[in-house]
Structure 1
Amino acid sequence: MRRTGFSMTLVLLVIVLLLSACGGDSSSGNSGNNSGSTGVLDANKKYTVDFWEAFSTGANKTAIETLAKQYMSQHKNVTIKLQAYDSYDTLKTKLTAAIAANNAPTMAQVYESWASKYQQSNALESLQPYISGQNGLSQSDISDFYPTIWKDGQIDGTQYMLPFNKSVEVLYYNEDVLKQEGIAVPTTTDELKAAITKVTKADGSRWGLSFTPSVDEWATFYKAFGGTDFVSSDGTKATFGDGANSQPALKALSDLTPLVKSGNIHVTKLYSWQNDFAAGKSAFAISTVASYPFIKSSIGGKFKFSEAVLPGGSAGKFTSLYGTNMAMFSSASTDAKTAAWDFMKYLTSADANAQFVKATGYMPIRKSAYEGSTLKSYFEQNPARQAGPESLQYGFVPSILPAWDDCRTVITSDFTSALTSQLSANDALQKMTQGCSTKLAEG
């Protein structure tokens, strides 16, 4: 009997030990396996986040450094290491190389097309577990983001990015010149062309419009004139040169060409348009709201300038949605990703976003930031700055396919050639359609 009792006791002891080893006691389970704890900081741990970004100069650099310092002052156990690169092209090159070497940072600024490529190789961390976790975002938080901007962070319906420095293109204009000439702010493309012609000086001392052409202006005109899609549903070919799309595509290529020929529009390179506008040598400019601090600094008090929603065409008003989102990389440690999520959540909070907008000229990404006291006061003092938020409803992104980056280069080149009469509109459209289709087919 004693031997049987001993055997039963031994069996029970083994079972208890096995259950304990397998985590049978839920009260002592590993918090790392609890989805609710995803993204929750532990006060007893030290965290380091490597954030690669492209804010290397000016107001942007000051703004992100200030916000990082504020965050670290509130979270003494977290170190945010900012790595600023001199351009988005450099940032993309560095990120691509780092991912290939399995040495990606914790988080970075990314464009939608970059993110799509990184996600294809499983380099991006899905944000869904963080959003739904204990330190996540409520449905009211999500609803507070502007829908266009929130959805911009998704790939195939999954949230991989949170919005950061978002902007749209607007029309900058010299208030003094328009007042002198008795011209109302243009609201249609025809009104804009008439205004450009009227304010141009025959002696060459002032152009109506000075701008550096890019795919974004062409895409905006294309949509405004009735263009629909840019890429086929399977992502293998360009569709802006096909069927009913061809006419708005041609008009977008040719509508301003006569004004370039006549000297009413000055086609520039890089940021030379800013010099023209700031010097009063052009009455209009087209650029993103993020250009505002640079323009304001250059103009000083020489004249009054303002912003307006881009004029619309026969199909309505449209504007390209610019700027990057923030993404997290899957190769980072769990602790680094936990802190990165908390920092991302901080940067997208209403208070931090309001500070960022006021300092840089970028867009509010949340309704509560736009409607809050900080920005309400700011926009009351700077009413022209509201052109950005007012334009959000017209914002669009042509494509998030990785190959669209190459299409951008092709279209920008051919659009510029059409504007400067180096190519006819028909030849330019054929060339850019074929060129973009080739890039898309290559993937």
Structure 2
Amino acid sequence: MRLKWSHMTFVLLILAMLALAACGDSGATSGNKSQGQSNGNGDPTSFDASKQYTINFWEAFATGANKKVLESLTKQYTDKHPNVKINLQAYDSYTTLQTKLNASIAAKNPPAIAQVYENWAMQYKQNDNIVSLQPYISGKNGLSSSEMSDFYPSLLKDGQIDGQQYMMPFNKSDEVLYYNADLLKKMGIEPPKSMSELIVDLAKVTKSDGSQWGLSLTPSVDEWSILYKALGGKDFVSSDGQKSAFAQGGNKAFAKSALETLAPLVKAGAVHVTKQYAWQNDFASQKSVFALATVASYSFLQASIKGAFAFNEAAIPAGPAGQYTVLYGTNLSLFKGVSDDTRAVAWDYLKFLISKDANTTFVQKTGYLPIRQSVFNSDAMNSYYSKFPARKVGSEQINNAFVASFQPGWQKCRDEITNDYTSVLSGQSSADAALSKMEQQCNDALAQ
């Protein structure tokens, strides 16, 4: 009996092992690994091509050319991948997008992929809400070293936290100087290349009866920060990220001058201070000759102007410390809280959106910057630039573009600086009082 029982046990053990192996194969191919595990064979980019997937992409392309091109590119992807459904959840602003993302994370129901700003991603990384993209980049369905080197180095660096890639560039832009080319030609004025030339030109094109002013501007922290850097300012935030640096040491004089530079022109009527997007209406109706805005504003201006006059872009005029511009736009990140195979499909979709062909279409339709050097140098873009030569300006100044800070508290700093800068331009506050308030409010925000 003892030998008979031992033989039966051996048979049952073999059957159990086979059953467990079968279960293991089933789990690997189904892709239903729990959060924190890698996909089959340890490759985070692998997924079951025969399975149906739904990918939620949260973004802020709710209107205009941006909405149309994203929908078109997404259809291209899903046409080639009929087993994948992409839900484009468009929000009316980046503020709304951030609010919804934060709420979804708290509810443990985030999207697989979303547009994010750098300081959002820093907070999400600190709270373990997004994943490092390094394993995806090096996976079987990843990006080769030559593909990675094709992206502009400054844009890749913009997506790094603690030396690792947590974001890939998507809709990137920088600020440029728009100008009424027909009017400048008529007046024999060349687009200004320095701040001093710009100030002279703004006064020159302003009409004394108030029917035309040099510049229409909705003030923001970005115009102040460009002036701050161009005048000689260095850091915005201390190295430990705990307090502001713009009002410390030698930076203080440049921060104050940046607040004051345009104020006399506002008082003289050469600069018209507006709210929200009213500057676009002023420029399109030829009430203003110049405008400061991102390259992404091009398609909106084009739709409003409708060929009534020729307008162009120029690089932001340089100050004593050089030429600077702000880097705008969001990156793409992948979120925790979804299954590994769902995130692997989201990575595949992300790869498509930042591919050479997709980015070429995206740039031409929206006015955003090429994120890959091969796109900028391609025949398609050379042909495009031959028709719209000023559209090259944004890319040509990309190495001078900066992001003031990745710190999560910087968002509150941005809001405070915008308010105080506006108050100085409108004559409601002195530069000294505004700078003191900016420093205190930013220190409080960064210390939280």
Q: TM-score range by the shorter chain?
A: over 0.9
Per the alignment, residue 288 of structure 2 pairs with 282
| Maintained 8 Å contact 1:210/1:273 | yes
| Maintained 8 Å contact 1:171/1:286 | yes
Partner Cα distance (1:6, 1:272) in 2: 88
Per the alignment, residue 397 of structure 2 pairs with 391
TM-score normalised according to structure 2 size: 0.93
Counting aligned pairs with the same residue, the percent is: 55
Please show how residues 36-75 of structure 1 align to structure 2 within 5 Å: 37-75=43-81
Q: Deviations over 1:181-205 (max 9, x none)?
A: 2111111100100110111111111
Q: Is 1:340 equivalent to 2:346 in the alignment?
A: yes
> AA paired with 1:38?
P
> AA paired with 1:183?
I
| Maintained 8 Å contact 1:290/1:360 | yes
Per the alignment, residue 252 of structure 1 pairs with 258
| Maintained 8 Å contact 1:36/1:133 | no
Partner Cα distance (1:333, 1:399) in 2: 32
SS in 2 for 1:294: helix
> AA paired with 1:385?
R
Measured after TM superposition, the shift of residue 224 of structure 1 is 0.6
Per the alignment, residue 361 of structure 1 pairs with 367
Measured after TM superposition, the shift of residue 379 of structure 1 is 1.0
Q: How well do the aligned residues superpose, as a CA RMSD in angstroms? A: 2.3
Partner Cα distance (1:415, 1:48) in 2: 45
Per the alignment, residue 220 of structure 1 pairs with 226
Q: Deviations over 1:269-319 (max 9, x none)?
A: 000000110011111000000000111111112111100110110110111
Per the alignment, residue 349 of structure 1 pairs with 355
> AA paired with 2:140?
Q
SS in 1 for 2:405: coil
> AA paired with 1:413?
N
Measured after TM superposition, the shift of residue 15 of structure 1 is 9.1
Please show how residues 7-406 of structure 1 align to structure 2 within 5 Å: 30=28, 34=40, 37-406=43-412
Tell me whether 46-55 or 28-37 shows the greater mean CA deviation: 28-37
Partner Cα distance (1:425, 1:213) in 2: 15
> AA paired with 1:146?
Y
Q: Deviations over 1:69-100 (max 9, x none)?
A: 00001111111111111111111111111110
Q: Deviations over 1:103-143 (max 9, x none)?
A: 11111111111111111111112211111100001111110
SS in 1 for 2:427: coil
Measured at CA, do residues 375 and 17 of structure 1 come closer, stay the same or move farther in structure 2, by a change above 3 Å? same
| Maintained 8 Å contact 1:105/1:329 | yes
| Maintained 8 Å contact 2:39/2:340 | no
Measured after TM superposition, the shift of residue 147 of structure 1 is 0.7
Gaps of 5+ in 1: none
Partner Cα distance (1:52, 1:29) in 2: 29
Measured at CA, do residues 315 and 21 of structure 1 come closer, stay the same or move farther in structure 2, by a change above 3 Å? farther
Measured after TM superposition, the shift of residue 363 of structure 1 is 0.7
> AA paired with 1:326?
L
> AA paired with 2:336?
S
Per the alignment, residue 33 of structure 2 pairs with none
Q: Is 1:425 equivalent to 2:431 in the alignment?
A: yes
| Maintained 8 Å contact 2:180/2:310 | yes
Partner Cα distance (2:251, 2:146) in 1: 39
TM-score normalised according to structure 1 size: 0.94
Measured at CA, do residues 33 and 306 of structure 1 come closer, stay the same or move farther in structure 2, by a change above 3 Å? closer
Equivalent pairs counted in the alignment come to 439
> AA paired with 1:437?
N
> AA paired with 1:94?
K
Per the alignment, residue 32 of structure 2 pairs with none
Tell me whether 391-400 or 373-382 shows the greater mean CA deviation: 373-382
> AA paired with 2:204?
K
Partner Cα distance (2:26, 2:110) in 1: 34
| Maintained 8 Å contact 1:52/1:109 | yes
Measured after TM superposition, the shift of residue 387 of structure 1 is 0.7
> AA paired with 2:133?
L
Q: Deviations over 1:304-347 (max 9, x none)?
A: 11001101101101111000111111101122101100000000
| Maintained 8 Å contact 1:168/1:320 | yes
Q: Deviations over 1:199-256 (max 9, x none)?
A: 1111111100111000011111101111110111111111100101011111111111
| Maintained 8 Å contact 1:35/1:133 | no
Measured after TM superposition, the shift of residue 41 of structure 1 is 3.9
> AA paired with 1:387?
V
